[in-house]
Structure 1
Amino acid sequence: MIALVVGMVLLGWFVLRVYREPRRLGNSVLLLIALGVTLIGVLHVDPDSGLATLALLVIILSPLLVLLLAALLMVNGVQMVRREGRRVANLLSFGLGVALLAPYVLFVVALVVKSPWAAGVLASITLVESYFGFLLLAFLLYSLIYLRLPYRPGMGAIVVHGSGLIGDRVPPLLAARLDRALAILRAEIAAGRAPMLVTSGGKGSDEMVAEADAMADYLLAQGAPAGAILREDRSETTDENLSETRTLLARYGIPTPVVLVTSNFHALRTGILARRQGLDATVVGSRTAFYYLPSAILREFTALLVQHKWTNLVISLALAALPLLAVATYSVE
């Protein structure tokens, strides 16, 4: 009963934090902890419930589920390489699939060599993988919630972030962002407002024109008013998209808040970065091809891990050291 009460309190705290500022990565961790404590409370209150049976079934089948997930990720990695080319970013899902198999391989090794140190290494890797698995699950759950937060109409500008061109052509991923921006613009115009459209993106080494120009041409071809488009053609990263957009908005006296339009997998990190830069902005996401999502989500997750690299490194080293210290202590005794 206590766990259930604590879980409900934590969920209430989560709702309050999201209401005050949804663009916090800590919200995702709090959400998963709150759900976990609440689940423990529910199972304790009614251990014979169908939920308890489901939880027990998941625990029993979890090794098979992990193996299945590893296989699906590796297949997706192969698909990404075939469709998008051989780049490190496109190998993330394949790499995660291989990493998920590591504890099973070490488990077999530990059984064969019958060494406590092999068991200790297995436990260390499992703990570190569990930590990152927890963070990834928290990120996924909160990303789904973040994408469904209500859009606030009446924005000063609609900013579309670039995602790369094919020569001078807008690819489907970027076209989806531009189409979402156009839908928002038309809704604002129908309500009697006239926000500016900002296309944000510079010229990459493999691109014939700046992304901002290709995006503006696409919007014009779809019927957007020429006088409503501003071009930010200097940025190369999301951070630069945001900082250059702030400068552009200030130059033209465009008020905030603004809405940032990106792909659904990129929405949460974009919001977090906007908050760090002090930009008053809402983020909306456009749809992404399903095969592209695993690698794209892993790229976003990896970027957030790097953003908090020292915290994650210290926690990982501490978790990895615990089993090895236990084995060393046992060996001395």
Structure 2
Amino acid sequence: MLYFLSLFLISSSILVAIMKWRKVSLIALIYFSLLTAILVIINESHWYPFSLIRYLLYILSSGIALLIPFFLLLLAYLMLSRIEDDRSLSGMRIFFNLTISITFIGIVIFTAWVVIQKNYYMTRFLAIYTLVAMYLIINLFLFIILNLFLLLFRFNVRSKDILLVLGAQLTTDGEISETLIYRLNKALKLFKQAKRNGQKLHVIVSGGNSRENVVSEAEKMAKYLIANGIDHHCITIEDQARSTRENLMNIQSLLKNRFPDHKKTLIITSYFHLLRTYFYAWRFGYNLRIIGVRTQFGHGFFAILREYLAFFVLTKELNYFFMIALLIHGIRQVLLIFQ
């Protein structure tokens, strides 16, 4: 089954890339092609290193299996919040989010009932949750590895290119965060290098108000760039976006209306944010020239976990399919054991 799924996803990725179908997420297809291939290798390979990895993953997954119900509740909460926050969701997506949320909540409630009843079925649920935990661990490692791989990509800037600096939440006192400073310093470096080479670049900073009664991220970003040597005529502010999706959607409209003769865009964001940026950049028709920058170590660790959850929910349809398949597979295995 996994072999055919892997081949299907790889073929679909190639077709979408060739045809440039922007409504189908190329990034999600590539991601899940790799994820399926890894699952096939780990589960089917008898080569000793992969057998050892499979054994270690099982031990680790068994240790966190009891946390899976809480993770399912978190996913349900995030999906319900998406319905509340994003008014642009279609009726079909709202129905899908509700279905996933109710399913996960139902599984957790049934698990809680089993625990309260001290039913022997609890051991069966632990075995099933171990498979789900293993999937989530492999998924997390793939997410980290791909973001770090994308961090290695470098792109040359040319005259009339536009640098897009994506915003990040300001500090509690309304100042620029360390994460945002790394992004802005990268834009400064590229802008000044281009200027020395006689090239003209323009910078667009994007980010709305993180909290009420605080200036927008974009305004703070623009002030930082101006204070560090970029003329204000070379900066455009987009201060309405409150998410990555809105960042790239609003900037695309801005580019069409104000910069019809621009060459190409170069998007700057943090390394842990790369996959989600690629996801939306493909959907909104950008050329995929995205530069990742590092950030402080402590913040990066928690940011990766937050971004992993965000990307997990963003690609929830495929994740839901995989998790349901694993639950069915786990139930079959458990029934065979207890026959």
| Aligned match of 1:283 | 290
How much identity, in percent, do the aligned residues show? 28
Deviation above 6 Å: which 4+ runs of structure 1? 19-23, 35-43, 63-70
> In structure 1, how many angstroms separate the alpha carbons of the residues matched to 2:240 and 2:43?
51
**Could you list the runs of 5+ residues in structure 1 that have no partner in the other structure?**
1-8, 45-51, 71-105
Alpha-carbon RMSD across the aligned residues, in angstroms, is: 3.9
- The question of 1:210 aligning with 2:216 is answered yes
Label 1:227 to 1:66 Cα distance change in 2 as closer, same or farther (>3 A): same
In structure 2, which of residues 152, 155, 163 is the aligned counterpart of residue 158 of structure 1? Answer: 163
Label 1:188 to 1:36 Cα distance change in 2 as closer, same or farther (>3 A): farther
Label 1:152 to 1:122 Cα distance change in 2 as closer, same or farther (>3 A): same
> In structure 2, how many angstroms separate the alpha carbons of the residues matched to 1:23 and 1:147?
19
Q: Secondary structure at the match of 2:122?
A: helix
> In structure 2, how many angstroms separate the alpha carbons of the residues matched to 1:43 and 1:123?
22
| Aligned match of 2:132 | 128
| Aligned match of 1:5 | none
Q: Deviations along 1:80-138, whole A, 9 cap, x unmatched?
A: xxxxxxxxxxxxxxxxxxxxxxxxxx9xx99xx894x3332122101111222222222
Indicate if the aligned counterparts of 1:271 and 1:283 stay in contact, CA closer than 8 A: yes
Label 1:59 to 1:135 Cα distance change in 2 as closer, same or farther (>3 A): closer
How far is the alpha carbon of 1:37 from its aligned partner?
7.2
- The question of 1:231 aligning with 2:234 is answered no
Label 1:327 to 1:138 Cα distance change in 2 as closer, same or farther (>3 A): closer
In structure 1, which of residues 298, 315, 331 is the aligned counterpart of residue 305 of structure 2? Answer: 298
| Aligned match of 1:80 | none
The 5 A counterparts of 1:1-333 are 24-31=27-34, 52=48, 115=120, 117-154=121-158, 156-166=161-171, 167-206=173-212, 208-254=214-260, 255-328=262-335
Q: Secondary structure at the match of 1:279?
A: coil
> In structure 1, how many angstroms separate the alpha carbons of the residues matched to 2:322 and 2:275?
23
Indicate if the aligned counterparts of 1:263 and 1:286 stay in contact, CA closer than 8 A: yes
> Paired residues, what number?
275
How far is the alpha carbon of 1:280 from its aligned partner?
2.3
Report the AA paired with residue 215 of structure 2. V
Q: Deviations along 1:163-196, whole A, 9 cap, x unmatched?
A: 1223442121111110011111122222321110
Report the AA paired with residue 161 of structure 1. L
How far is the alpha carbon of 1:160 from its aligned partner?
0.9
How far is the alpha carbon of 1:316 from its aligned partner?
1.4
Label 1:278 to 1:62 Cα distance change in 2 as closer, same or farther (>3 A): closer
Indicate if the aligned counterparts of 1:199 and 1:232 stay in contact, CA closer than 8 A: yes
Q: Secondary structure at the match of 1:198?
A: strand
